[in-house]
């Protein structure tokens, strides 16, 4: 099994500890590739829209982005982590997600994404972990992923792992171990099911792409949908 981890911070703090606890169970049998932000994607999207209009390889940052994209596509499980910064995911995480706008369903979703599983791990001092997770989940669901498990933690005392009360640390440890146990059970099995919401979103985008392709057969997204066979009867979740 292949796991990709995208860390929304380079700091080896609480988020890092939670992610390490989650990965413990997988270390022996899974191939784990980790990316740390902003190191592995230090640039912001400039809004040139080249990725959408001309293709993802024309992005000024494609050197960074396509390394992460290749790893995402070959992974069985995607793990995304972020502390809450001012009630949201870190800006580094948002900067990466912006670069993947071309992967959204209204553009050129990757067929591989539809049957993947993902885990989002966020935490905060008092409030914001849920909205940080939502920032990430929004992209993953529009990439076509149905099976997304979310863990959100509230520290409520300190933001340094070593300074947390023993009881709090062991509660968090138990929660991460339970989460990895649950996920390891399903991840070594068959690919994830595609839920109704994802299918409806896909069919709505298909309608849009059908009309775009008819009006301009050279439009990049429409051409991609036609090439995948999605404007006909082929669906990304059917082998
Ligand atoms: C810039 C910044 C903004 C933060 N904003 C929030 C916030 O809005 N709500 C909150 O509960 N915690 C906030 N925190 C605390 C973090 O969510 C987190 O709990 C803390 O950074 C520990 O995690 P880490 O060791 O992985 O960085 C903030 C921390 C930083 C550095």
Residue of 14, 15, 84, 176 best suited for mutating to test ligand 1, as the one with most atoms within 8 Å of CB:
84
CA distances, 214 to each of 31, 209, 221, 223 (Å):
43, 8, 12, 10
Question: CA gyration radius for the chain?
Answer: 19
| DSSP structural state of residue 87 | T
Residue 86 gets the label, from left (phi > 0), alpha (psi -120 to 50) or beta, of left
What distance in angstroms lies between residue 81's CA and the mean position of ligand 1's atoms?
13
Report pLDDT for 189: 72
Within 10 angstroms of residue 45's Cβ, the number of other Cβ atoms is 20
> pLDDT per residue over 76-118, tens digit each?
999 999 999 999 999 999 999 999 999 999 999 999 999 999 9
Q: Is the dihedral of CA 207, 208, 211, 214 positive or negative?
A: negative
Which residue blocks in 82-158 are alpha helix, DSSP H? Answer: 91-99, 129-142
Distance (Å, whole) CA 231 – CA 223: 10
Residue 42: which pLDDT band, with cuts at 50, 70 and 90? very high
Kindly give the distance from the C-alpha atom of residue 45 to the centroid of ligand 1, in angstroms, as a whole number. 24
124 lines ligand 1 (CB under 6 A): yes
d(CA 26, CA 23): 5
Which residues are registered as beta bridge partners of 122? 82, 152
Average per-residue pLDDT in the chain? 97
**Residue 126, ligand 1, Cβ within 6 A:** yes
Q: Strand pairing partners for 124?
A: 154
Distance between CA 21 and CA 121 in Å, rounded? 11
**Distance between start and end Cα atoms, the chain:** 19
Mutate-to-test residue for ligand 1 from 83, 135, 158, highest number of ligand atoms within 8 A of CB: 83
Measured from the CA of 16, which atom of ligand 1 is nearest?
Answer: 26
Q: What is the mean pLDDT of residues 57-81?
A: 98
Residue whose Cα lies nearest atom 1 of ligand 1: it is: 85
pLDDT given at position 187: 81
Would the pLDDT of 75 be above 90?
A: yes
Of the pLDDT bands very low, low, confident and very high (cuts 50, 70, 90), residue 233 is very high
179 alpha carbon – ligand 1 mean position (Å): 22
Neighbours of 136 (CB within 10 A): 27
CB of 125 shorter than 6 A to ligand 1 = yes
In terms of pLDDT, which residue wins out, 73 or 188?
73
175-208 pLDDT, tens digit per residue, is 999 999 999 988 877 889 999 999 999 999 999 9
Token representation of residue 47 = 């809004």
CATH topology of domain 2-195: Rossmann fold (3.40.50)
């Amino acid at each position: 099994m292949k796991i990709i981890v995208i860390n929304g911070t380079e700091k080896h703090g609480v988020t890092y500890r939670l992610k390490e606890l989650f990965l413990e169970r997988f270390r022996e049998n899974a191939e784990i590739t980790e990316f740390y932000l902003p190191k592995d994607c230090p640039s912001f999207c400039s809004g040139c829209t080249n990725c959408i209009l001309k293709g993802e390889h024309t992005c000024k940052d494609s050197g960074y982005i396509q390394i992460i994209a290749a790893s995402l596509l070959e992974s069985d499980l995607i793990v995304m982590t972020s502390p809450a910064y001012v009630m949201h995911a870190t800006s580094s995480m948002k900067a990466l997600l912006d670069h993947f706008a071309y992967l959204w369903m209204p553009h050129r979703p990757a067929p591989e994404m539809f049957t993947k599983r993902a885990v989002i791990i966020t935490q905060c001092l008092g409030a914001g972990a849920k909205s940080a997770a939502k920032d990430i989940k929004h992209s993953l669901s529009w990439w076509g992923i149905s099976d997304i498990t979310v863990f959100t933690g509230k520290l409520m005392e300190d933001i340094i792992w070593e300074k947390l009360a023993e009881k709090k640390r062991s509660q968090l440890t138990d929660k991460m171990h339970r989460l990895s146990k649950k996920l390891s059970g399903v991840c070594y099995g068959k690919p994830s099911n595609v839920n109704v919401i994802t299918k409806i979103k896909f069919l709505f985008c298909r309608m849009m792409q059908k009309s775009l392709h008819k009006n301009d057969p050279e439009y990049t997204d429409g051409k991609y949908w036609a090439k995948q066979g999605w404007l006909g009867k082929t669906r990304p979740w059917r082998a």
